């Protein structure tokens, strides 16, 4: 019987595979095999792709995060490959431990190991200080992208519930130091490129200035996701929306402290085989002169710094 392979970073519920497939109408015999075969055939015909080989799990998670739609999965993969060419600055570092600046003095981030009962993954960020520079912030984005590549190849879920702890920082100082364009591009890579479905964003803060931060977030995400932002004054209020048993210890949960979970991610992402994989998969871009103009995605044309003015032979 087919089963999911757990990793040191990602655990699953006993029936995750069956439940996710059933909810997306992918559970009938042969359905996924045919979709993946069609996906692979489509990829082989994309002359502008610089890479044609993607693992089966990579393609299946693309379909799952596309709510079971092969067409949506195709568009997402095309978008991701295009963004790797369009925004190369996010994909140039592959060794989290040896190439990225340690940004944990500014913010600690980690995807939690256990799923919610409805098979969503919890991603936590704790803002620790408003004392950070542009390099630290950019490598924070890069770390999130390396996590996303790992998730794409190893996870199986409906998407993410995001928890953002802002209790220990001056919100105004943080907002004034964030590069909005970099944040917008990073969110585009994560949500549009990797197809990360976000069930909800839960911000913990009692600051009267939290609306300033929420307004900033709404500038860089879709209106649909913006409507899923919730602000909680206390951790106890968060527990009404996110199961506390799968949260880090400092949030009343049963998991390891967030910094320790982050360290686990740092160590695994920096393993030789994972660094080698990141180096290769980040080359999966596009050569725009080979793209068929009839298939040009208008969403890509709207990206900042896009190929809008590029002449395609």
Do 228 and 183 share a structural domain?
A: yes
Do 215 and 191 share a structural domain?
A: yes
> What is the mean predicted confidence (pLDDT) over 95-120?
97
Instruction: Note the pLDDT of residue 303.
Output: 54
Confidence of residue 73 (pLDDT cuts 50, 70, 90): very high
Do 87 and 55 share a structural domain?
A: yes
Number of structural domains (the chain) is 2
Say if 119 falls within a structural domain: yes
Distance CA 13, CA 130 (A): 37
Do 211 and 139 share a structural domain?
A: yes
Choose among 118, 99, 136, 116: nearest CA to 282.
99
Q: How far is CA 208 from the centre of its chain?
A: 29
Do 87 and 159 share a structural domain?
A: no
Distance CA 102, CA 181 (A): 22
Distance CA 243, CA 211 (A): 25
Could you tell me whether strands 107-115 and 198-204 are parallel, antiparallel, or unpaired per DSSP bridges? unpaired
Do 279 and 287 form a contact (C-beta atoms < 8 A)?
no
Cα angle value 189/190/196 (rounded, 5°): 140
Q: What is the CATH number of the domain that holds 268?
A: 3.40.525.10
Say if 23 falls within a structural domain: yes
SS3 132: coil
Say if 6 falls within a structural domain: no
Do 69 and 145 share a structural domain?
A: no
Say if 181 falls within a structural domain: yes
Domain that includes residue 295, residue range = 16-91+284-301
The answer on pLDDT for 1 being more than 70 is: no
pTM value surpassing 0.85: yes
Do 141 and 186 form a contact (C-beta atoms < 8 A)?
yes
**Of 30-34, 107-111, 195-199, 309-313, which range is least confident?**
309-313
The token pair at 294 is 């009839």
Say if 9 falls within a structural domain: no
With a pLDDT cut of 90, the percent of the chain lying above it is: 91
What are residue 169's phi and psi, to 5 degrees?
Answer: -130, 160
> What is the mean predicted confidence (pLDDT) over 206-233?
96
CA distances from 241 to 86, 231, 244 (A): 37, 11, 9
CA distances from 185 to 27, 86, 250 (A): 35, 10, 31
Do 82 and 300 form a contact (C-beta atoms < 8 A)?
yes
């Amino acid at each position: 019987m087919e089963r999911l392979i757990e990793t040191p970073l990602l655990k699953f519920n006993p029936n995750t595979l069956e439940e996710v497939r059933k909810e997306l109408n992918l559970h009938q015999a042969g359905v996924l095999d045919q979709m993946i075969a069609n996906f692979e055939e489509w990829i082989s015909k994309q002359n502008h792709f610089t890479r044609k080989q993607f693992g089966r799990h990579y393609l299946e998670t693309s379909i799952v995060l596309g709510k079971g739609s092969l067409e949506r999965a195709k568009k997402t993969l095309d978008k991701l490959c295009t963004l790797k060419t369009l925004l190369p600055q996010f994909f140039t570092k592959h060794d989290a431990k040896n190439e990225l600046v340690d940004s944990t003095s500014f913010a600690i981030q980690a995807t939690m190991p256990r799923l919610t009962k409805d098979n969503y993954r919890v991603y936590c960020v704790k803002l620790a200080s408003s004392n950070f520079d542009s390099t630290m912030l950019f490598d924070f984005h890069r770390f999130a992208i390396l996590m996303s590549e790992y998730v794409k190849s190893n996870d199986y879920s409906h998407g993410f519930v995001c928890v953002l702890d802002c209790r220990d920082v001056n919100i105004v100082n943080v907002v004034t130091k964030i590069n909005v364009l970099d944040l917008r591009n990073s969110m585009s890579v994560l949500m549009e490129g990797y197809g990360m479905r976000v069930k909800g964003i839960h911000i913990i803060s009692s600051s009267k200035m939290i609306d300033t931060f929420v307004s900033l977030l709404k500038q860089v995400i879709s209106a649909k996701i913006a409507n899923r932002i919730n602000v909680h004054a206390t951790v106890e209020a968060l527990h009404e929306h996110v199961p506390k048993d799968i949260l880090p210890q400092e949030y009343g949960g049963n998991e390891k402290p967030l910094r320790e979970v982050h360290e686990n991610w740092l160590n695994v992402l920096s393993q030789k085989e994972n660094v080698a994989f990141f180096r290769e998969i980040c080359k999966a871009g596009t050569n725009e002169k080979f793209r068929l103009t009839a298939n040009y995605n208008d969403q890509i044309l709207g990206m900042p710094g896009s190929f809008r003015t590029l002449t395609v032979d």
